[in-house]
Amino acid sequence: MNQSLIKGKYRPEIDGLRAFAVVAVIINHFNEELLPSGYLGVDIFFVISGYVITSSLSGRESKNFWDFISSFYERRIRRLVPALVFCVLITSFFVCLFNLDPKVTLRTGITSLFGLSNLYLLRQSTDYFAQSTELNAFTHTWSLGVEEQFYFLFPFIIWFTGFGRQKVKSSRNLFIAVLSLTIFSLIAFISLYSTNQPAAYFLMPTRFWEMATGCLVFIALNKRVLIIKRLEKTSPIFVLIGMVGVLFFPISFAVLSTILIVVMSAILISCLREGTSVFTFFTKEKIVYLGLISYSLYLWHWGVLSISRWTIGIYWWSVPFQVGLILLMSVFSYKFIESPLRRNSFNSARYQIIGFNILGLFSSAFTLFLFNTNSHVMFSGANKSFPADNSWGNRMRSATDEINGKKCFGKIPYSEEKINNLLANCIIINPKNKDNRTFAFVGDSHMLAIMNAQKLIYEKANNLIHYSFASCPFPYPRYGLLPKGCDKFLQKSAASILKRLNEGDYVVILNYHLSHLGDNSLDDVRHKLFNESGELPSNGYIKRDIYIQSLFEFVDKADSKGIKIIFIGAGMRNNNPIFSIKEWFRPFPLKSTYQQEKSHAMKLNSYFGEQFKDKKNIIFFDPIKELSSCCNEDKIFMKYFRDSNHYSDYGAEVLIKKIIPIVSSFENS
C-alpha cells in the first residue's frame, strides 16, 4: 500500500487530480461544445474535498470541542476567505465599469462572501446552464457555498462520532453515519433533479453525498476494507480514460454523468499508486503546481470570461490572452494572498485570524454595496440610455398607465376587487361608433406596451376594451401554478369579453411568451411564472400544446358569437441587446443575435400559422413578415423596441397600422 494513503500524509497526486478537474471546468466554460460535461470537474473537487478534509482531521489532537471546532474553522477561513475577498473586490470593480446594471452580479458577490451564493442563485431561479449565467461574474461561487455549508456540518459529525477524539471504533461510527447520510443525499439528488433541477444542483443536502464519498474513501483506505484492496489493483489509466469519456457526455445525461464521475473519482483516488503512468503524470512538478493554484484558478477564470463576454468577446484569437490573464491573476493571488495568509506568515493568534477575516468579509460586502449604489457613476460606457425609456418600466410596475384616465393594467399580487375594477373601468365607448363595433385588447405587459397605439383603432370609430395583466398569457387555464390573481384575471377577462362582445367584434391577443421563445426547443415556450409572493419558481414553463388547447377553447366560444380573433405572433427579441451596441470596451458587437432570434420567431410563427389554418375566425398576424424592415442591427431594433422585447411607441404604431388593412381585407373576403 502507498504510504501516502496513511492518515495525514500529503499526496501530491491529489493535487494532480485537482489540476485535471480545474482544467476540465475551464475548458467547458470557455466553450461547452469542446467538453460538454467539463463542468463535472466541480464534482471531482467535491470528492477530493471530502477526502482531504477527513484526512486533515484524522489523528488531530484537540483539547476539547471548542478547540477542535475553532481550529477547524481557522484553517478553513485562512484557506478560503483571503483569496475570495481579493477576487470578489477586483472583479466587482471591473463589472461596474462595463455593466450599467450590475445589481444581480454584485448581490451574488456579496452572498458569496458568506457562503450563501448558491442559495441566492436558487432564489433567483437560476439555471446554471442558461446563457444568462455566463454574464454573472460570480455564478461559479455556488460551489463554494455548497462546500462551506458542508464544512459547517461535517466537523460536528466528526466530533460526535468520536473520530475527532480518536475514540475506539470511531472510524466505524463515522463510516456508518456518513454512509447513511450519503444514501439519503443521493436519493434526494436523483429524485429532485427531475422536478426541480436548480434545487438539486445548488443545495448542499443534495450535494452532500459527493463530498461524503471522499470521506468514505479515506476511511476505507485506512481500514483496509476488502473492496478497497481490490480497487487498489485497478489500473488508474482505465479509470482516467473513463472519466475523460464522461466529460464528453451531453448535458441531458447530467444525473448519470454526475454519479459516474463521483464513483470514478473515488476509484481513482483509491488506485493511484507509485509506478503507474497516471501517478507519474499527476506528480509532475507543473501539474502539481496547477493543482496547488486550482482554487485561485477556479475563482478567477469565470470572472475573466464573464467580463470578456461583456467587452471584447471570446474568439479563437482572444483565448491565449484570456488564458494568460487567468494564469497571471491566479498565480498572483496564490503567491501573495492565498499562501502567506494560509500559512499564517504573520504569526497571528487563532482568534485574531478569525476576527480579521470576518472584518474583511463585512468590509468587502459594504464596499460592494457602495459599488451597487454608485454603479451608474462607475460605468465607463457612453450608452447610458439603454434600455430605452426606463420610465416605462417604472410605470408598468406601479400600474399607472391609463386609458381615458382609468388604470387598465394589473400586476402581481393583485386583489380580486382591483381585478373587478380593471375589468369594469377599462372600456371606452366611442360616441362616433354607429355600429357599436368593439376591439378588445387583451394580454400581458406586451399588450400594455402597445396601449398608446390603440388610439388608431379608436380613431376608426371603434369602442375599445383594454385588459392587460403582468405575466398572465391570455388565455391560459393552468390553475394552481399561475398566481391566484392571474388565474382570476384570465377567467374573468375571458368571461367579460364573451359577455360584452358580439358578432363583428374583435379580440386582439398579444402575450410575452410568444416573443420569448427559448433557444432549446419548440416544445416549451419559455415563460417564467410568478408564484403568489412574486418569486420565480424554477420550473415555470408554459407548454405550447397546452396553451394552444386553452386558446382554441376560447376561440370556439368566440366563434359561436361571431367574434373574430386577431392573434399577434412572435416578434423580435434580444435578451441581451446591450451586446449589439458598440462601446469603447466592446469593439466587436454581436451581429448574429438578430438573425438567430428572427429564426426562432419564424419557426414559432410557422407552427402557429399551421395550427390556425382551419380556424375561420382567427386572423394570424405575423410581425416578422409584416414588420419586414425590423431588425438586422441595433439601431433598427431600438427603434421598434423599448427594451429587449416590448414594442416601443413607434413599433406599436407600425404594428397597429399593419393590422387595420388586414382587418378590412378580412371583412371584405
pLDDT per position as a tens digit, 148-165:
999 999 999 999 998 878
CA distance 400 to 410: 9
Q: Which of 26-40, 225-239, 344-358, 396-410 has the lowest mean pLDDT?
A: 396-410
Do 281 and 430 fall into the same domain? Answer: no
Whole-number percent of the chain with pLDDT over 70:
83
Judgement on whether residues 445 and 543 belong to the same structural domain of the protein: yes
Residue 614 lies in a domain: yes
DSSP 509: E
Q: How far is CA 582 from the centre of its chain?
A: 26
Query: Average pLDDT in the 439-446 region?
Result: 89
Is a pLDDT exceeding 80 seen at residue 193? yes
Considering the domain architecture, whether residues 337 and 448 belong to the same structural domain is answered as no
Task: Kindly state whether residues 235 and 354 are assigned to the same domain.
Answer: yes
- Identify whether 387 is part of a domain: no
- In angstroms, the CA 326 to CA 309 distance is 14
- Cα torsion 220, 222, 224, 225 to 10°: value is -10
pLDDT value of position 424:
83
Omega before residue 475 within 30° of 0, cis: yes
Alpha-carbon distances of 578 from 157, 282, 383, 429, 536, rounded to whole Å: 49, 43, 9, 41, 24
The parent domain of residue 335 ranges over: 3-378
369 and 399 in a single domain? The answer is no
pLDDT recorded at residue 23: 98
The SS3 assignment for 438 reads strand
Q: Which residues contact 319 (CB under 8 A, 6 or more apart)?
A: 30
Beta bridge partners of 310: none
Tell which of 349, 378, 407 closes a domain: 378
Residues 318 and 440 in one domain: no
512 has which bridge partners? none
Does 308 lie in the same domain as 440? no
- Tell whether 587 is covered by a domain: yes
Mean pLDDT (the chain, rounded): 83
Do 22 and 48 belong together in one domain?
Answer: yes
Clarify whether residues 439 and 312 are in a common domain. no
- Residue that is last in its domain, among 378, 406, 440: 378
Which of 378, 405, 432 lies at the terminal end of a domain, its last residue? 378
Picking from 247-256, 540-549, 602-611, which range would have the lowest pLDDT averaged per residue? 540-549
Does residue 516 surpass a pLDDT of 50?
no
Cell of residue 267, nine digits: 476509484
Rounded to whole angstroms, how far apart are CA atoms 253 and 237? Answer: 24
Return the HEC string of 337-398.
HHHHHHCCCCCCCHHHHHHHHHHHHHHHHHHHHHHHHCHHHHCCCCCCCCCCCHHHHHHHHH
Is 42 inside any structural domain?
Answer: yes
Same domain assignment for residues 331 and 426: no
- Do 507 and 359 reside in the same domain of the chain? no
pLDDT digits (tens, 9 = 90+) for 357-412: 999 999 999 999 999 999 888 999 875 444 444 333 333 333 334 445 556 776 65
Number of H helices, E strands in the chain: 29, 11
> Poorest-confidence range of 25-29, 193-197, 274-278?
193-197
Answer yes or no: is 383 within a domain. no
Checking if the pLDDT of 447 tops 60, the result is yes
pTM for the model: 0.76
Instruction: Identify the weakest region by mean pLDDT among 171-180, 328-337, 455-464.
Output: 455-464
The verdict on 584 and 448 lying in the same domain is: yes
Dump pLDDT digits (tens) for 108-162. Answer: 999 999 999 999 998 876 555 555 678 899 999 999 999 999 999 999 999 999 8
On whether residue 388 sits in a domain, the answer given is no
Residue 348, pLDDT score:
67
CATH number of the domain that residue 562 is part of: 3.40.50.1110
What total number of domains does the chain contain?
2
Classify 313 in phi/psi space as left (phi over 0), alpha (psi -120 to 50) or beta. left
Asked if the structure places residue 389 within a domain, the reply is no
- Cell readout for 590 is 454581436
Whether 617 is covered by a domain: the verdict is yes
